[in-house]
Amino acid sequence: MADNGDDDAQYRIKEGDYVVLKRGDIFKALQIQPRKKVIFEKQWFFLDKAVGHLYSTKFEILSGGNLQPKKPKEEESPADAKEAGTDNRHILDDGTSQKLTRDDIETLKEQGLKGQEIVQQLIENSSTFRDKTEYAQEKYIKKKKKKYENTVTILKPSCRSLAMMYHGREPGKICHLRYDTLAQMLTLGNIHAGSKVLVFETCAGLVLGSVMERMGGYGSVIQMYPGGGPVRAGVESFGFPAHFHDTLHDFPICHVNALLAGNLDTAAKDPCADEKQSNTVEGQNQPEAEPRGNPEEQSMETNAGDDTADQEKKEREKLKEAKVQGKRVKLEEKRKKLAAAASLLEGRNADGLIIASRFHPCPVLMVLLKFLSPSRPFVVYSQYKEPLIECYTKLKEQGGTVSLRLADTWLRHYQVLPNRTHPLLLMSGGGGYILSGTTVAADRAKPASSQRADEPAPKRLKVTDTEG
């Protein structure tokens, strides 16, 4: 089982891959496209230069946007001369300790000097460096390195890196959901391969993607979406293999009442899902559709209407067909998808529920809980505590749940260095709140001894069990 050189292939960066760039604690998610100029942390380069290299490689950014893999052993500290002061009683801040001017540094950069060499120059031209304490010297070097070393690491995307990226760059887009809170949700929701999970989120698809990663393409995820169409930008960034998307379904939340009442008409076209959803579907189609040649389209026309059984190709076939036959077919497909998602929900036997949105969680939770089997976990996230207090109260009144817990987590990072260990100076103020619990069979008023009363429900539900 030990890996040898041969299986390196699966770790190589390919064109079209979704990747995460990393420098220090800064992340950025991107797709590798030919000749695409990328700006990351004030540096520009061509990302496609990384194609063929291995994931987790650290690159040096060279002039002209080139990328050069860094040797692992280049990390030596540039300060060889181990000469240091003991305290700062003689160090004066007169602003003249650095002999190099801003222009000098610019010239060094233009000469194409490596970051490490510039740092070395700065040290040599600093009159106070030798008087600084050993610790202050290290701090100085670290600071300058951060500024002048132009490296970037290219990583395979993961829930960890993307959650940290969103939290660092765009917390507003993910309702300020901090990564440790997301971690709690996935665990408390018992998200694992083979289950059927409902997700309602307005976190750019980050929560949905994280759920899909934990399910590994086994089981099914039903995204309940508000408005015109599901938001999945964050899901794309995970770069899941195509078969993962076969397990992903979506259902507009505006049809939930009809579904629960048993009068959802999947045969007729639905106004709510139409307008904007068709927009998003088109939006996804177009870039893919353009480079496609004519022959392919013609061949498509000949077998249009055929239903390929092949699950692998189905999704792609679907898209092609839609393009050829126009909107009518597209609507037909959408109707089918809606019907498929509806049939998954109708059994009301889902295994988990995750809610993380900017909407008031209470009505969402109350209605979506109806789709869960008994003895299944659910997790509701909210940036604020008050709406979760309301959820808690309502659930207590209504019954049907146990182990209710309203909580949040507190995250503290540490700097651990010889003689300089302490918590980091800055910490996140809040990562949101979580209400979690477990469903139980609805409590009908019944004589204490008769378990018979429970029988009809399980039987009715069992019919749909075979689906998953």
Partner 1 sequence: MSFVEYNDFIQDGDVAIVYLGHDSLMPVKVQQGAQTQTRFGAIRHSTDLIGQRYGSKVTCSKGGWVQVLHPTPELWTVCLPHRTQILYTTDIATITMMLELKPGSVVCESGTGSGSLSHAILRTIAPTGHLHTVEFHQQRAEKVAEEFKEHRVDHLVTVRNQDVCKDGFGVSGVADAVFLDIPSPWEAVRHAKAALKRHGGRLCSFSPCIEQVQKTCQALADQGFEEISPLEVLLRVHDVRNIYLPLPDFGPDSGPDSCAPTEPDAKQQAPNHASVTLKTTTPPREIPGHTGYLTFATKPRT
Binding positions for partner 1, 140-169, rule CB under 8 A: 158-160, 163
| 422 touches 415 (CB < 8 A) | yes
CB under 8 A: which stretch of 89-97, 293-301, 309-317, 408-416 binds partner 1? 408-416
Per-residue binder mask for partner 1 (CB under 8 A), 56-95, x = binder: xxx-------------x-----------------------
Nearer CB in complex with partner 1: 155/281: 155
CB under 8 A: which stretch of 127-135, 275-283, 301-309, 387-395 binds partner 1? 387-395
From CA 360, how far away is CA 151, in angstroms rounded? 43
Between helix 361-368 and helix 386-398 the angle, nearest 10°, is 30
Q: State in angstroms the smallest separation of the CB of 185 from partner 1.
A: 8
Nearer CB in complex with partner 1: 277/401: 401
Q: What's the Rg (C-alpha) of the chain?
A: 28
Structure tokens at 383: 């940036």
For position 192 contacting partner 1 by CB under 8 A, the verdict is: yes
For position 11 contacting partner 1 by CB under 8 A, the verdict is: yes
Nearer CB in complex with partner 1: 122/199: 199
Which residues are 155's β-sheet partners? 20
Q: State in angstroms the smallest separation of the CB of 155 from partner 1.
A: 9
| Amino acid letter for position 153 | T
Question: What does 260-281 look like in DSSP terms, one character per residue?
Answer: HHT---SSSPPHHHHHHHHHHH
Q: State in angstroms the smallest separation of the CB of 400 from partner 1.
A: 9
For position 366 contacting partner 1 by CB under 8 A, the verdict is: no
Residues 440-459, interacting with partner 1 (CB under 8 A): 440-441, 443, 448-449, 451, 454, 458
* Phi, psi dihedral angles at 427 (to 5 degrees): -135, 160
For position 284 contacting partner 1 by CB under 8 A, the verdict is: no
Hey, is 459 helix, strand or coil? helix
**Distant-in-sequence, close-in-space partners of 224: CB < 8 Å, separation ≥ 6:** 198, 199, 200, 250, 251, 252, 253, 256, 368
* Phi, psi dihedral angles at 270 (to 5 degrees): -105, 130
For position 377 contacting partner 1 by CB under 8 A, the verdict is: yes
- Looking at 3, 76, 103, 110, which residue binds partner 1 (CB under 8 A)? 3
Residues 90-129, interacting with partner 1 (CB under 8 A): none
CA distances from 107 to 42, 44, 140, 150 (A): 18, 19, 22, 16
Q: State in angstroms the smallest separation of the CB of 197 from partner 1.
A: 11
